[in-house]
Amino acid sequence: MGNILRLVTAGAAAGVLVAAIALPAMGGAGVTVKSAIQELHLQPEELKEPPLPERTVLLDADGKQFAQFYYENRESVRLDQIADVMKTAIVAIEDYRFYEHGALDLEGTARAAVKNFTGGGVVQGGSSITQQYVKLVLVNSAETKEEQAAAQAPTLERKLNELRYALAIEEKYTKSEILERYLNISYFGAGAHGIQAASKRFFGKPASKLTLWEAATLAGAVQNPSVTDPNTGKAARARLLERRNTVLNRMAELGKITKVEAEEAKAKKLGYKDVPVPGGCDESPYPYFCLYVQHEILNNEDFGKTAEAREKFLQRGGLTIKTTLDTQAQKASEKAIKAYVKTTDKPVASQAMVVPGTGAIKAMAASRKFGQNKKKNEISYNLAADVLHGGGAGFQAGSTFKPITLLAALEKGMKLNDGFSTGSTYHAPSSSAFRDCKGNRVGEPSHPVHNSSEGGGGFKTLTTGTLGSVNTFFMKLEEVVGLCETVKTAQKLGIKRADGQPLKEFETFTLGINEMDPVTVSAAYATIGARGAYCKPMAITEIRDRNNKATSYKPKCKQVLDEEVADAASHIMSGVFTKGTMSGVGGIGRPAAGKTGTTDAYTAAWFAGFTPDLASAVSIGDPRGAFQHDLVGVTIGGRYYSYVYGASIAGPIWKQSMIGALKGVEATPFTPVNMERFGGCSAGRCAPPPKKPAKVDGDGGGRGGDGDGGNDVESPADWGGVNGGAPIIP
């Protein structure tokens, strides 16, 4: 009795259990496991075994892996995928009578307790492998630090509960199944969970290829991996080497290997290779797409009804996620961006490509490398996406918003050549001329909206006003159509602020005062390319779980615009390449439409465009703060720009990347505009007789409710002709 109590007070967990089983039988001459369990009234209790956290891999649209991430670096394997010498080594050191006893080995536990006590440390394992497995399951299942502590506390209550679970495990599984589960759940140090991950991390090989000395090393690491973690320094590596030799001695003692074999293995160096394990989006060749997928799972109810459920779904891992990533489009985007913007530049170019009719995101790229190193000018968030998908606050969209007002006008029945005269400056006629969707008066009669360079006005139509990107025309058009109707049209196209806040519904809404991200803008333009069908951007097409059960995810689309309205908008916007603000850059050799965007005070620049096969949006701005760091007098990509317009950098990137992305894809034409419905002009809105072509006004100075501008000011070199005339290059 005294010896047992001494073991307990020494803190040995094995001693606690010996005491627990021996105490009820102290009056007798001997004790067996069966009688002790009966005396303690222990009954098997079912153990909940949640799936182990495993690595998740991401595949591109062609099925090639491009990223992996994990909560725990683990890759579960079958027992027949583990070298026999590894099984022998772990059983020898942790539970040499494993195949002979049940849930508890009283003889082995008592022997280990005495040997560890007299040896002044932990020499042999006391708990059976089954008991150790139970403890590891409980630790892994714990969701709080308190639960984790309770699962490892050296108390009588914990040991008895552990034994109840172990009894049930022995009834539920064969010995081989228990050993397989134990080797897959165990932590070996160096961030390696499970024998397969440990074998690759320590020795750069699968568990099936382990040699004697390597197996002994890993068997030794299980006992106290925090002490023998080879990544923590020389002292820990020395302890691991000593522990390896202890395992080899034990294997020889049990006759599992010869003494000669043990000595030869002990003569080997530790051999730890410290093999890097790629994990996390920063180690992916396409980090921004990887980041988008992670956040999509965390925020989309398709992957769990609650945020907690989605987080667990991602953390448990073991998933194979097939994505919409098209490496041809991705590489084309990266190449085009690299041609115009350097990784060291403070302004950043970012791009997203979306397929009309499906919402499939084909590419996401940015000019800066993804990472945490600010000295290397790296950036740690996804510039191509919104906050919900790991992005930032975005940049004001400028005149890429004008097509929204154009669509609202076409839906109201206006024709291609409907228009009105506008001056070089626009003033709201009254505060009630613009009302937000709550009915508030937001017109600002005292605030002037100018055209570029204070240029003159004139009669502009839906066509010429769009091609010339004329601010005063679009302010008048929004007044006629209605601010709220324009906002609702934007929302139908999936338009929402990058920062997740409500859209700013001010009179200059049509001039792009809201901060946007390329994915959202690209998806909105894809709606026009899909003849009015808005499809929610999607990056995931299939997820296979660890049991190879596949769940497919289909496009979520809705017809939000009249098809013929979208056709009419495409017809007008296609002229941007030949008669409008992109005429100096040109088209892509196939039917395409788009719109430039340059914000007030040159704080950001955009180009967004589409074909029936692919849509794309490119933004450029300074993430340090667009208003504090504008695009005036800047050097980008080794070129100096007095002013950066939508057609200066974003436009050429869009052109080059779209040509590359669509290489080999047969061109799809736009559906011709219904001229019976949209041709000509309405009574009272017809253009006067054509005049001699003159310079088209660019975009001037709108402002948001906080006094900041958000409108487009295109380069004179990008202006097109009046009323569809030939472009004029001053």
171-195 pLDDT per residue, tens: 999 999 999 999 999 999 998 999 9
**The pLDDT value given to residue 112:** 55
CA 23 – CA 7 distance, rounded (Å): 13
Pick from 582, 622, 588, 607: nearest CA to 367: 622
Percent of all residues in the chain with a pLDDT value above 90, rounded to a whole number:
64
Task: Please state whether the predicted TM-score (pTM) of the whole model is above 0.85.
Answer: no
CATH 3.40.710.10 boundaries in the chain: 395-530+555-724
Pick from 687, 459, 717, 400: nearest CA to 727: 717
Determine the Cα angle at 669 with ends 667 and 671, to 5°.
160
Q: What is the mean pLDDT of residues 148-153?
A: 77
Instruction: Specify the 3-state DSSP secondary structure of 630.
Output: coil
CATH 1.10.3810.10 boundaries in the chain: 2-41+72-266
Maximum distance among all Cα pairs of the chain, rounded to whole angstroms: 119
Pick from 290, 73, 286, 307: nearest CA to 186: 73
Between residues 158 and 711, which one has the greater pLDDT?
158
Pick from 237, 5, 275, 266: nearest CA to 117: 5
Pick from 348, 459, 445, 465: nearest CA to 403: 465
The CATH number of 395-530+555-724 is 3.40.710.10
**The pLDDT value given to residue 102:** 79
**The pLDDT value given to residue 340:** 96
- Looking at mean pLDDT, say which of 371-375, 477-481, 719-723 comes out highest: 477-481
In the predicted structure, residue 372 carries a pLDDT above the cut 80: no
Q: Give percent helix, percent strand, percent coil of the chain, each to the nearest 5.
A: 45, 15, 45
94-138 pLDDT per residue, tens: 999 999 887 777 666 666 555 555 554 444 445 899 999 999 999
268-320 pLDDT per residue, tens: 999 999 998 777 788 899 999 999 999 999 988 888 889 888 888 888 888 99
Q: What is the mean pLDDT of residues 237-259?
A: 96
CATH 1.10.3810.10 fits 2-41+72-266, yes or no: yes
**The pLDDT value given to residue 71:** 80
**The pLDDT value given to residue 651:** 95
In the predicted structure, residue 566 carries a pLDDT above the cut 50: yes
CA 227 – CA 189 distance, rounded (Å): 9
Between residues 669 and 143, which one has the greater pLDDT?
669
**The pLDDT value given to residue 464:** 92
Instruction: Using DSSP bridges, classify how beta strands 550-552 and 540-544 pair: parallel, antiparallel or unpaired.
Output: antiparallel
7-57 pLDDT per residue, tens: 333 334 444 455 444 433 333 344 455 555 555 557 888 898 888 888 899
Question: 622 and 638 in contact (C-beta within 8 Å)?
Answer: no
**The pLDDT value given to residue 623:** 87
Pick from 664, 649, 650: nearest CA to 616: 650
**The pLDDT value given to residue 694:** 52
468-494 pLDDT per residue, tens: 999 999 999 999 999 999 999 999 999
- The least confident of 166-170, 226-230, 510-514, 596-600 is 596-600
Tell me which residue has tokens 């627990």: 20
